[in-house]
Amino acid sequence: MIKKDGGSGPKAELARAVEKNFGHFADFKTKFTEAATKVFGSGWAWLVMMPDKSLAITARPNQDSPITGTLDEARIERPQTQILLGLDVWEHAYYLKYQNKRADYIAAFFNVINWDFVSERFEKLA
């Protein structure tokens, strides 16, 4: 899900869904960053598609994912959740380059997201 020159933003249908669910793309980035930053210790931040095709952001501790339990919003059970994008915020993912600067790592993540891949996945699942 990463791309050397990624980060331009979601495409087509996914772009419209992001705007519908989060407002401007900058609002999505803020909410995703908040979710990733608030993970205590190790874990993940996720962009998921709900059964009604809406989007949600959730964070999970440790190795948990939205498909291994219920979402924080408690709206659905795991078989219906579709993962579109995940960010590993375990220290091993960023320590060598960013040391204890998780916020810098999260900010840099937005520069390498392969939005073409994420957008294609969304369109196949929608």
pLDDT at site 60:
87
pLDDT at site 17:
97
**Residue ranges per structural domain of the chain:** 12-125
pLDDT at site 16:
96
On the 0-12 / 13-18 / 19+ scale of CB atoms within 10 A, 75 is: middle
10-residue mean pLDDT profile of the chain (126 residues): values are 66 94 96 92 91 91 74 53 88 63 84 92 92
Residues ≥6 apart with Cβ < 8 Å to 16: none
Domain 12-125: CATH superfamily, name plus number: Iron/manganese superoxide dismutase, C-terminal domain (3.55.40.20)
